[in-house]
Amino acid sequence: MGINLGEKLKSLRKEKNISQEKLAQYLNVSFQAVSKWENSSTYPDIELLPELARFFGITVDELLGAEQIDEKKLYEEYEARAAEIYRNGDISKALPIWQEAYHKLPNNIEVKEMLMSIYFDIDKVKYQKEIVELGTEIYNGNGGSYYKGQAIWQIARTYAACGNHEMAEKWALKTQQLNHSMEFLLMQITDDGDEMLSQFRFANYWYLNNLFYMSTKIAGCENIPGGTAYVQAVSKAVTQMYELVFPNDDMGFEDLKRMCVEHRSIAEDEIALSKNEEVIKHHLIRALQCAEKSVSVKDHDINYPLVMGWHVYDAPFDNKQIVRLLKKELAWECFNEYRNKDWFIDIENKLNGLL
């Protein structure tokens, strides 16, 4: 092993902008040991060579002077395994997959983002430490604005969920205002029509999702100016934008769930406002249509102009989740006075038929 392994380790570590302490922590050795390896005073145990190679995203052969592993192919293998689990509806079972991927590809920005996200989705309070550590690594790395934005978003919301609003605000302030976002700026300065559309589609999808979450957030606010009428108006605006962007409700399973919730919420608000039966009927039928569509979502790319190229996966193995949710919500007391209406009975019968 007198082939300048020390120099190789030092070069790889500096190339990845990793400290001796970080490398030592990953290998469960002292940073003094790493220092001695790099100075060629001593060499790592042979059992550590595969771990060192994985840490730097290379093979043992390359560590000793050979080829680099196909990191992209390995990531895609993990992504495919996880996607199959996501479709079956239990994301917690994908956690070991991304933990294994992180162990094998500890510097891969996509793996870090996926692991951080699954910690967040499973239990952001329980996994606060892991989310903050991974998010901070991503934010301090060279992954670009998308990954930094994801890190800020999830760290801030994790701190908020844990009651640490000071740290939540500190991280939220690291991001850019909407009108200063990279996507908006690129749309304004580029002369390349394809690039402009690409940036617009990317921004459009995420802003739509955020509008939905903000509309559900204000629905739970007490004493909001404008009251229930304002909340309902926001929900109507969000559904109209989704319907414009995704004609014929051609969207993914989660987006259909969002729209089902919004339409049911609009109908519920109408009961508290004018009790216009046509409005209530319309939005409950639209909720039903979203539930019906969700059962048979198939894997495909969306080809509508505003979200061209976004990929939709098959409905999960448990594809009746949204149907059961709507059936449960229609049993609420607020809908009692419409329960004997022919149109309401028809909705319930169709839900029962789907189940």
Residues 323, 260: Cα–Cα separation, whole Å: 9
Domain check: are 57 and 85 in the same one?
Answer: no
What's the pTM?
0.63
Domain check: are 243 and 162 in the same one?
Answer: no
Tell me the two tokens of residue 153: 């978003």
Residue 271 near residue 279 (C-beta atoms within 8 A): no
- pLDDT at residue 58, as a whole number: 78
Domain check: are 161 and 195 in the same one?
Answer: no
- pLDDT at residue 130, as a whole number: 95
**Mutual angle of helices 109-123 and 95-104, in 10-degree steps:** 150
- pLDDT at residue 187, as a whole number: 54
Residues 242, 255: Cα–Cα separation, whole Å: 9
Through-space distance between the first and last CA atoms of the chain, rounded to whole angstroms: 65
Domain check: are 246 and 350 in the same one?
Answer: yes
Strand locations in the chain (E) = 300-301, 311-312
How many domains are contained in the chain?
Answer: 3
Distance from the Cα of residue 29 to its chain's centroid: 34
- CATH assignment of the domain containing 144: 1.25.40.10
Bridge partners (DSSP) listed for residue 301: 311
Give the C-alpha distances (Å, rounded to integers) separating 30 from 22, 43, 72. 10, 13, 31
Domain check: are 198 and 243 in the same one?
Answer: yes
Which SS3 state, helix, strand or coil, does residue 88 take?
A: coil
Domain check: are 82 and 30 in the same one?
Answer: no
Domain check: are 347 and 266 in the same one?
Answer: yes
Tell me which of 30, 46, 63 is where a domain ends: 63
**What is the extent of the structural domain holding 95?**
71-175
Burial zone of 79 (CB within 10 Å; 0-12 exposed, 13-18 middle, 19+ buried): middle
- CATH assignment of the domain containing 22: 1.10.260.40
355: Cβ–Cβ under 8 A, 6 or more apart, which residues?
320, 323, 324, 327
Residue 158 near residue 132 (C-beta atoms within 8 A): yes
Q: Quick one: which of 286, 259, 298 has its CA closest to 347?
A: 286
Tell me which of 117, 146, 175 is where a domain ends: 175
Q: Quick one: which of 287, 296, 293, 295 has its CA closest to 332?
A: 287
Bridge partners (DSSP) listed for residue 311: 301
- pLDDT at residue 261, as a whole number: 95
Q: Which residues of 186-224 are buried (b: 16+ CB within 10 A; e: fewer)?
A: bbeeeeeeeebbbbbbbbbbeebeebbeebbeebeeeee
**Mutual angle of helices 109-123 and 145-161, in 10-degree steps:** 20
**Can you give the pLDDT of all 355 residues of the chain as single tens digits?**
445 777 888 888 888 788 888 888 888 888 888 888 888 888 888 888 888 888 888 777 777 764 445 678 888 888 888 887 877 667 888 999 999 999 888 888 999 999 999 999 899 999 999 999 999 999 888 777 778 888 998 999 899 999 999 999 999 888 766 555 665 555 556 666 666 666 666 667 777 888 888 888 888 777 888 889 999 999 999 999 999 989 999 999 989 999 999 999 999 999 999 999 999 999 999 999 999 999 999 988 888 877 777 788 888 888 899 999 999 999 999 999 999 999 999 999 999 999 8
Residues 152, 73: Cα–Cα separation, whole Å: 28
Domain check: are 95 and 217 in the same one?
Answer: no
Tell me which of 175, 210, 226 is where a domain ends: 175
- pLDDT at residue 242, as a whole number: 92
Domain check: are 254 and 197 in the same one?
Answer: yes
Domain check: are 101 and 234 in the same one?
Answer: no
Residues 65, 47: Cα–Cα separation, whole Å: 18
Domain check: are 17 and 90 in the same one?
Answer: no
Residues 82, 79: Cα–Cα separation, whole Å: 5
Domain check: are 125 and 259 in the same one?
Answer: no
Backbone angles phi, psi at 312, to 5 degrees: -110, 130
